[in-house]
Amino acid sequence: MTIVRRMAGALPGAALALALLAAAPPQARAAGPVEIRIDNFTFNPPVITVPKGTAVTWLNADDIPHKLAGSDRPWKSPVLDTDQRFSMTFAEPGTYPYFCSLHPHMTGTVVVTAE
Ligand SMILES: [Cu+2]
């Protein structure tokens, strides 16, 4: 649990942060290249934690197109048709929420850690 280890240094809010973390959606952490599957209008996994420098790939496994866009930072993918992939490397640590600009109710988050 890298997230927990990282948050242990944030003293006063650590307990609250851990409580919030416990209530958060399940996360997946991967050491190598990772793939987020778009299926049935959902991103799976919806929240993923990766070390900086990791290439994250989205695969559109739906029968309709999707198009990714950052919620608070200016990045976007081309329109992804069925079975098409889009990859992006996250060089800086941070939290990167994103959504599908064709179906804005579809949301996901990439959490990039410093190591
Ligand atoms: Cu979509």
CA 37 to ligand 1 centroid distance, Å: 12
CA 89 to ligand 1 centroid distance, Å: 21
CA 68 to ligand 1 centroid distance, Å: 8
Structure token digits, residue 79: 């329109």
| Contact criterion met (CB below 8 Å) for 97 and 109 | yes
pTM confidence score = 0.72
CA 104 to ligand 1 centroid distance, Å: 7
CA 51 to ligand 1 centroid distance, Å: 26
Confidence grade of residue 9 (pLDDT, cut at 50, 70, 90): very low
* pLDDT higher than 70, residue 112: yes
| Contact criterion met (CB below 8 Å) for 43 and 73 | no
Confidence grade of residue 21 (pLDDT, cut at 50, 70, 90): very low
Candidates 2.60.40.420, 3.90.226.10, 1.20.1050.90, 3.30.450.20; correct CATH number of 27-113?
2.60.40.420
Phi, psi for 111 (deg, rounded to 5): -105, 120
pLDDT in tens, 46-101: 999 999 999 999 999 999 999 999 998 889 999 999 999 999 999 999 999 999 99
